Amino acid sequence: MSTQLPHCLLGMFDDDFSLDDYKGAEPRWCVGCGDSAVLAAVQRLCRDEQLPPEKTVFVSGIGCSSRFPHYMQTYGFHGLHGRALPVAEGIKLHRPDLHVFVIMGDGDCCSIGTAHWIHAIRYNMDMTVLVLDNGIYGLTKNQVSPTSPLGMKSNTTPRGTNLEPINPVSVTLGVRNASFVAQAVDWIPELVQNIVSAAFHHKGLSFVRVLQRCPEFLDGRYDPWVKDPGRMLLLNHKDGIQTSPSLASVYKNQEEHDPSDRNRAREIASVSDPIPVGVLYRNQNVSCYENPRGPDRLYTPDVVKGVLESELDRFTIHASGGGGD
């Protein structure tokens, strides 16, 4: 009895993960970058849900936001520009037991990764997708992105861009198999936390766009909305998120929006002032691609080891001179 008790207690403490258990390398983002707010929300989610780090994977492409996996003490895959989604889909298909998060920037998702984005929505695999949208190519130092505001001057558009920006939320809602679509802003951390949590608990692909500030190349872009809470529209519903009393006292412009109403969700998504934040659409009845297509057994370490040993045994040279093939 005395030898078993310490072992049991050790197991209990090993399963109690703290916030520090999810913190990886020191973030190198610019001071004031919205990426930091999302990182904090995700780390708190992992702690609150007690996600085993060895069962959690963060996949990213290329860009400022795509450094995210380096800052998480979990498994991570820092991939190619625009290719985060197919990598994540491969991971989820072969290891459906893992918690898979995908981190992309606006250029990463809405430019070179557009085809993967659209088809990932169709597949509706069970993963949480966060698009950190600052409206600029920041890592490569100030080039216009698909979500840059009309007239913005950059290194690639010195006279100002003459293209209307793409709306990732509206596009996602236009794909038939969309099952969870939400929008947040980096300067309301409580809402970021609640939306990321709702996205994680959704069974299917959760698409979350986070509008965020870039202090280096688009400083002040969202100042009118930051300084005037009345220019924000908070979406409330029992099947979405609920605004806390303290937040409601500041952000009084609210709407009771049923996220099952796709037509209303599209109307809300098309509005840029006030900026809508919350869960726009949610449908739990969309099937997940990995369910009918998933493997008969999980590719756990024991399974992989067993397969390798079985194959290697075929070529074993025995002392008697016999062997495998």
pLDDT digits (tens, 9 = 90+) for 171-197: 999 999 999 999 999 999 999 999 999
Query: 281 versus 9: which is more confidently predicted?
Result: 281
| Rg, C-alpha atoms of the chain | 22
Lowest mean pLDDT among 116-120, 240-244, 257-261, 288-292: 288-292
Residue 308 CA to residue 171 CA, distance in Å, equals 44
Name the residue with higher pLDDT: 15 or 231. 231
Strands 143-144 and 75-78: unpaired
**Three-state secondary structure string covering the chain:** CCCHHHHHHHHHHHCCCCHHHHECCCCCCCCCCCHHHHHHHHHHHHHHHCCCHHHEEEEECCCCHHHHHHHECCEEEECCCCCHHHHHHHHHHHCCCCEEEEEEEHHHHHCCCHHHHHHHHHHCCCEEEEEEECCEECCCCCEECCCCCCCCCCCCCCCCCCCCCCCHHHHHHCCCCCCEEEEEECCCHHHHHHHHHHHHHCCCEEEEEEECCCCCCCCCCCHHHHHCHHHEEEEECCCCCCCCHHHHCCCCCEEECCCCCHHHHHHHHCCCCCEEEEEEEECCCCCCCHHHHCCCCCCCHHHHHHHHHHHHHCCCECCCCCECC
Note the pLDDT tens digit of each residue in 21-74. 999 999 999 999 999 999 999 999 999 999 999 999 999 999 999 999 999 999
**pLDDT of the residue at 167:** 98
* In the block, residue with structure tokens 């992309």: 104
Please state, in angstroms and rounded to a whole number, the distance separating the CA atoms of residues 4 and 234.
52
The two three-digit tokens of residue 57, written as one number: 């994977």
Residue 162 contacts residue 205 (beta carbons within 8 Å): no
The number of CA neighbours under 13 Å toward the Cβ of 257 is 28
What confidence tier does 106 reach under pLDDT thresholds 50, 70, 90?
very high
Predicted confidence band of residue 303 (pLDDT cuts 50, 70, 90):
confident
Q: Are 105 and 135 a contacting pair, CB within 8 Å?
A: no
pLDDT tens-digit series, residues 121-174: 999 999 999 999 999 999 989 999 999 999 999 999 999 999 999 999 999 999
Q: At 2, is the pLDDT very low, low, confident or very high (cuts 50, 70, 90)? A: very low
Whole-number Å distance between alpha carbons of 75 and 22:
10
Nearest-10 Cα torsion for 223, 225, 230, 236: -150
Please check whether residue 85 is in contact with residue 116, taking contact to mean a CB–CB distance below 8 angstroms. Answer: yes
* Structural domains for the chain: 16-292 (3.40.50.970), 295-325 (no CATH)
- Amino acid (1-letter code) at residue 167: N
**Confidence class for position 313, pLDDT limits 50, 70, 90:** confident
Residue 320 has what pLDDT? 66
Q: According to the model, what pLDDT value does residue 1 have?
A: 42
How confident is the model over 280-299, as pLDDT tens digits?
Answer: 999 999 999 987 655 556 66
Tokens of 213: 């500030």
In 3D space, the residue among 257, 302, 303 whose CA is nearest the CA of residue 282 turns out to be 257
Contacts of residue 263, defined as CB under 8 A and 6 or more positions apart, other chains included, come to: none
- What does the pLDDT average to over 68-84? 96
State pLDDT tens for residues 217-237.
Answer: 999 999 999 999 999 999 999
